[in-house]
Amino acid sequence: MKLFKGQATITQLQWLVWIAVFFIVFFSLLPEDGFYQACNFTLISVAFYVMVIYGNIKFLFPRFYEKGHKVQYVIYVIILLVGGGLARGYLIMFVYNTYFAKTHEPWTLGMTLNYIVAGFMTYMLSFIFRIAIAYFSLKQQSEKILAQKSQAELNLLKSQVQPHFLFNTLNNIYYEAYREAPRTAVLIERLSDIMRYFVDESPKDEVSLQTEIQFLENYIALEKIRIRHETEISFVKDYNAESRIPPMLLMTFVENIFKHGIDKSSSDNQIDISLIHQDRYLLFQTRNRIHDKPAQDAPHGFGIQNLRKRLTLLYDSKFELNIDNSGQYFTAFLKVPLS
């Protein structure tokens, strides 16, 4: 598992441990056995330690003991310790008698017991080794989480600074434009309000109806400047401004109107929108003429599908969503409970 620059990985730490073990064993054997003999015996011994420790913590323990096969685990551990210990002893004696002994030294029962006991001690050390690896892994994960948290906080500060810089700039442009072109200044103000809504309000779970309606009105005003002919828009509102709904819940219908329900080359563009607060429910409806152009978002269109999924998550079955595009007009109706 890689960490940040300057920090050792778990693998690198293990290599350092094994290098240290090699030199400890080597220098303990060097005075009595000499350089070449100490090198050979150290290589064999360290290889044995590696086999026992990793054989237990990487293979036997997770595959058998942790899965409840404890009897099999004990059997395989005995095989590992006895087999590994005897193999280590045989190799050491073979190398010694072949290259270093002046007279052949026989294998004894005491040697057998010594090598098996050494295997058992190494087996016990494997659990300390396992705990150490787990500790350093957890420590590095904690450091990584803290670093990510710090980076997230820094990114949050950046994300807060950048939009507010933009808002301040738009305000300055607004005041400059107001002197020469008041209508343009109003549009700049609406754009600033929309952007502020996306930054400050849309991440919230709920916003006031007043905030949501102001967002829709700003959006409508900016969309109208893209239409060549004057568009007649009726927006009927009867609501409690303090009632709250999830943000962007009504936007799908209004956006759908300007994407599909407007003929920019025609002056016949009647749009009717109504938002009524009735008996703890919000009734929202949009209606526009269907022109000879690609069909508006049908009941199974992506926009409506996504909205329906979101409504289901928010309200379960306690909502109504109806789409009617069978005649000359496209009508969308939504009824949701208010909090």
Distance CA 120, CA 114 (A): 10
On the question of pLDDT at 299 being above 90, the answer is: no
Nearest Cα residue to 92 out of 71, 73, 115 = 115
Beta bridge partners of 337: 281
pLDDT of residue 73: 93
On the question of pLDDT at 4 being above 50, the answer is: no
**Per-residue DSSP letter, 287:** E
Nearest Cα residue to 288 out of 235, 211, 222 = 235
On the question of pLDDT at 160 being above 80, the answer is: no
pLDDT of residue 339: 75
Q: Which residue has the higher pLDDT, 277 or 295?
A: 277
Share of the chain above pLDDT 70, in %: 88
- Confidence class for position 161, pLDDT limits 50, 70, 90: very low
Instruction: Calculate the alpha carbon distances from 222 to 163, 259, 332 in Å.
Output: 20, 13, 22
Nearest Cα residue to 21 out of 52, 51, 54, 47 = 47
CB atoms within 10 A of CB 279: 7
CB atoms within 10 A of CB 79: 11
Nearest Cα residue to 3 out of 150, 155, 153, 148 = 148
Are 221 and 183 in contact by the 8 Å Cβ rule? The answer is no
Find the mean pLDDT for residues 50-73.
92
To the nearest 10°, report the CA torsion of 152, 156, 162, 166. 150
**Per residue in 85-121, pLDDT tens?**
899 999 999 998 998 888 888 888 888 888 888 888 9
3-state helix vs strand vs coil in the chain, percent to 5:
65, 15, 25
The single-letter code of the amino acid at 23 is F
**Per residue in 246-278, pLDDT tens?**
998 999 899 888 887 787 777 778 889 999 998
DSSP 3-state assignment of 17? helix
Q: How far apart are the first and last CA of the chain?
A: 47
Strand order of the β-sheet with 320-324 is: 232-238, 270-278, 281-289, 329-337, 320-324
Share of the chain above pLDDT 90, in %: 34
pTM: 0.50
Torsion angles phi and psi, residue 244, rounded to 5: -125, 145
Cβ neighbours for 173, distance < 8 A, ≥ 6 positions apart: 188
What's the distance, CA 132 to chain centroid? 28
- Which domains are delineated in the chain? 10-151 (no CATH), 181-337 (3.30.565.10)
Instruction: Classify residue 183 as exposed, middle or buried by CB count within 10 Å of its CB (0-12, 13-18, 19+).
Output: exposed
Cβ neighbours for 255, distance < 8 A, ≥ 6 positions apart: 219, 303
